[in-house]
Copies of this chain bind each other. A is one copy, B any other.
Amino acid sequence: MRDHPDHLPTYEDMLAAHERIKPYIHRTPVLTSSYLNDLTGAELFFKCENFQKAGAFKVRGASNAVFGLPEDMAAKGVATHSSGNHALSLSYAAGRRGIPCHVVMPRTAPQAKKDAVRGYGGIITECEPSTTSREAVFAEIHAKTGADFVHPYNDPRVIAGQGTCSKELMEQVEHLDAVIAPIGGGGMISGTCLTLSTLAPQVQIYAAEPEQADDAYRSFKAGHIIADDAPDTVADGLKVPLKENTWHFVSHHVTDILTASEDEIIEAMKLTWKRMKIVIEASCAVPLATILKNPELFRGKRVGVIITGGNVDLDSLPWMQ
């Protein structure tokens, strides 16, 4: 298996990524809700990556990896393992470039995400819903195809791509005091750290995580990576552990990691649908859940909230189960 590029991405990598991916992504809108502002006592600015191509921010990092490949490597295609949105996004980007995309996906991933991956032309191989199984099945596929491995979050090209989201947010909203995003493997948070540590180092960066998959929280408190094998949470995008590159950004630049229970996440998800009229995944309701739980941290502040995706199985909503 080809190693990940072994450097950390730089601010210039992020700027180059933004130029490279612009033809393939949306500059997503920032929405506000006077109801949620009143409820939290903060001014919240929701960066709506649920409106992004392929329905999630992950298309930024995936497009940066795909369109940065030299021709000879691109011909063999790309491959990844992913709990959903990275798979979708890499399939989308590979489809735009006209190269194959191999995806190893847990058999328990939402049917909507599997259908969407296939809709974009991705080739799925299923694995068990654990990190161990996922990595074993992937090694086999990777060896067989020779495709370029685009890790869903630890790849520097992916982190640089995700950082373009905060760059846009800073262009769209002035004088933010803080930005909050969900944390799973840490790709979005790392990109946020990469961008803000140069562009706006005074802005606080919070990561939000499900209590039932709180490995990043425990890592942050312990000072080293703690990985769980198969955590279970409604926020299905946030089950994966930190890796060395994302740990670098999390440990150096994150202000704090906050957690929320399953009920709090589902409540915040439903509240967002109800009041903002937008379809968001459970994963991206975790930031609002933690803001509602820790009002003293955010009251009176201007807070960017990254809505990471909107790929929901509409036949299976968590508040109806």
* Contact present for B310 and A319 (CB under 8 Å): no
Interface size on A, residues (CB 8 A): 20
Using known A-B contacts A29-B29, A31-B51, A320-B320, determine if residue A277 contacts B310 with beta carbons closer than 8 Å.
yes
* Contact present for B320 and A277 (CB under 8 Å): no
* Contact present for B273 and A314 (CB under 8 Å): yes
Please indicate the chain B residues that have their CB under 8 angstroms from the CB of A273 in the complex: 279, 314
Q: How far is the CB of A76 from chain B (nearest CB, A)?
A: 28
Within 8 A of B (CB), among A268-292: 270, 273-274, 276-280
- Complex Cα distance, B312 from A270, in Å, reads 11
A315 within 8 A of B: yes
A55 within 8 A of B: yes
Q: How far is the CB of A99 from chain B (nearest CB, A)?
A: 21
- What would 11 more interface pairs be, CB under 8 Å, given A278-B278, A317-B317? A31-B51, A50-B277, A51-B276, A51-B277, A112-B274, A273-B279, A277-B278, A277-B279, A314-B317, A314-B319, A315-B320
* Contact present for B55 and A314 (CB under 8 Å): no
Q: How far is the CB of A203 from chain B (nearest CB, A)?
A: 26
Nearest B residue to A279 via CB reads B277
Most chain B beta-carbon contacts within 10 A, residue among A112, A274, A277, A314: A277
Using known A-B contacts A29-B29, A320-B320, determine if residue A277 contacts B55 with beta carbons closer than 8 Å.
yes
- Complex Cα distance, B279 from A279, in Å, reads 6
* Contacts from A to B (Cβ < 8 Å): 29, 31, 50-51, 55, 112, 270, 273-274, 276-280, 310, 314-315, 317, 319-320
Please indicate the chain B residues that have their CB under 8 angstroms from the CB of A279 in the complex: 273-274, 277-279
- Complex Cα distance, B102 from A257, in Å, reads 47
Please indicate the chain B residues that have their CB under 8 angstroms from the CB of A276 in the complex: 51
Most chain B beta-carbon contacts within 10 A, residue among A55, A279, A320: A279
Please indicate the chain B residues that have their CB under 8 angstroms from the CB of A317 in the complex: 314, 317
Please indicate the chain B residues that have their CB under 8 angstroms from the CB of A319 in the complex: 314-315
Cross-chain pairs A/B with CB under 8 angstroms, 19 sampled = A31-B51, A51-B276, A51-B277, A55-B277, A112-B274, A273-B279, A273-B314, A274-B314, A277-B278, A277-B279, A277-B280, A277-B310, A278-B278, A278-B279, A279-B279, A314-B319, A315-B319, A317-B317, A320-B320
Q: How far is the CB of A1 from chain B (nearest CB, A)?
A: 35
Q: How far is the CB of A116 from chain B (nearest CB, A)?
A: 9
Q: How far is the CB of A213 from chain B (nearest CB, A)?
A: 24
Q: How far is the CB of A247 from chain B (nearest CB, A)?
A: 31
Q: Which 3 A-B pairs have the closest CB atoms?
A: A277-B310, A277-B279, A50-B277
Please indicate the chain B residues that have their CB under 8 angstroms from the CB of A278 in the complex: 277-279
Q: How far is the CB of A54 from chain B (nearest CB, A)?
A: 11
Nearest B residue to A281 via CB reads B277
Q: How far is the CB of A270 from chain B (nearest CB, A)?
A: 6
